[in-house]
Amino acid sequence: MTRVAIVTGGTRGIGEAISLALKELGYTVAANYGGNDAKAQAFTDATGIPSYKWDVGDYEATLAGCAKVAEDLGPVDVVVNNAGITRDGVLQRMSFEDWNEVMRINLGGCFNMAKATFPGMRERGWGRIVNIGSINGQAGQYGQVNYAAAKSGIHGFTKALAQEGAKYGVTVNAIAPGYIDTEMVAAVPAPVLEKIVAKIPVGRLGHAEEIARGVAFLCSEEAGFVTGSTMSINGGQHMY
C-alpha cells in the first residue's frame, strides 16, 4: 500500500528536501506552499511532486486543501508540519501583527493540519505526524520571542497529541533543527552567521537533507514505537 504524505512548506528549503526524501522512499507526496507560485511550479516541474497552495494558518483553507489532496491522491497517512515564517525583532519593536502572524502560521498551522487529518488516521489505525520545531524553541533566541514561543509550543503540542494518538497507531513526533544552510539562514548577516557557526561543535551548518533523513525515519513503519519525542539535529549546538 502506498502511503500519502503532505509536507507543508514543501516546495523550498528543508520542506523540499523532505518532500524528495519521502518520494524516494515510495510515498505519494503532496507539497503544500503558501505564496510563491513560480517556485512551486518549478519544484513540481523538476520533481513530479504536485504542489497545492493554501495558507496553513487559515483553518478553513487547510480543511479544504487537505480534502483536495485526499480526493486527488487518497487518504492522508503522513503529515509533516514544516511551514513557517519569521518576523524577527526585539519585543520593544515587535508589533502585534509580527507576533500574531508567526503564531498563526507556525503553531496554528500544526493545529489546523491535525484537525484536517488526525481523525482519518485514527479511524484507519495508522498515521505519522512530524512537526518541525527549532533549536530556538528549545534554547530561545534574542529577537525572536514570537518564533521561539511558536516553536516551543510545537514541542508541547507534539507531546500532548502523541498521547491521544498512541492507542490508535498514530505517532506524533518533532524534529528540532539547528542552523541549516537554507534561504532563511542565508539571510542572516555574515558576521552574525560566523558567530553562530563558531558555536556549533561540528563546525558547520547543517544540510536540509540531514533533517529530511530524520523525518523519513519518523514517518516509517519502523518508527512505530517512537512517539512524543523530539529529535534534535543541530550539530551539538544545544544538548539537554
pLDDT in tens, 43-102: 999 999 999 999 999 999 999 999 999 999 999 999 999 999 989 999 999 999 999 999
Q: What is the spatial distance between Cα 211 and Cα 177, in angstroms, rounded to a whole number?
A: 7
- State the catalytic residues: 147
Q: What is the spatial distance between Cα 31 and Cα 52, in angstroms, rounded to a whole number?
A: 6
pLDDT of residue 60: 98
pLDDT at 175 over 90: yes
| Sign of the torsion angle spanned by Cα atoms 217, 56, 112, 177 | positive
Q: What is the spatial distance between Cα 67 and Cα 47, in angstroms, rounded to a whole number?
A: 23
- Asked if the structure places residue 238 within a domain, the reply is no
Q: Which of 129, 131, 112 is nearest to 121 (CA)?
A: 129
- Asked if the structure places residue 229 within a domain, the reply is yes
- Asked if the structure places residue 187 within a domain, the reply is yes
Residue 76, φ and ψ in degrees, nearest 5? -85, 120
pLDDT at 1 over 80: no
- Asked if the structure places residue 179 within a domain, the reply is yes
Residue type, 228: G
The CATH number given to whatever domain includes residue 220 is 3.40.50.720
Q: Given pLDDT bands bounded at 50, 70 and 90, which one contains residue 185?
A: confident
Across the range 14-34, mean pLDDT stands at 98
Q: Please indicate, yes or no, whether the overall pTM of this predicted structure exceeds 0.85.
A: yes
Domain count, the chain: 1
Range of the domain at 191: 4-233
Q: Given pLDDT bands bounded at 50, 70 and 90, which one contains residue 186?
A: confident
pLDDT at 120 over 90: yes
Torsion of CA 68, 71, 74, 75, to 10 degrees: 70
What is the bridge-based pairing of β-strands 76-81 and 4-7? parallel
- Asked if the structure places residue 240 within a domain, the reply is no
Across the range 190-215, mean pLDDT stands at 95
pLDDT of residue 189: 87
CB 165 within 8 A of CB 227: yes
Across the range 182-202, mean pLDDT stands at 88
- Asked if the structure places residue 125 within a domain, the reply is yes
- Asked if the structure places residue 206 within a domain, the reply is yes
Across the range 150-169, mean pLDDT stands at 97
What is the C-alpha R_g of the chain?
A: 17
pLDDT of residue 173: 98
Q: What is the DSSP letter of 105?
A: I
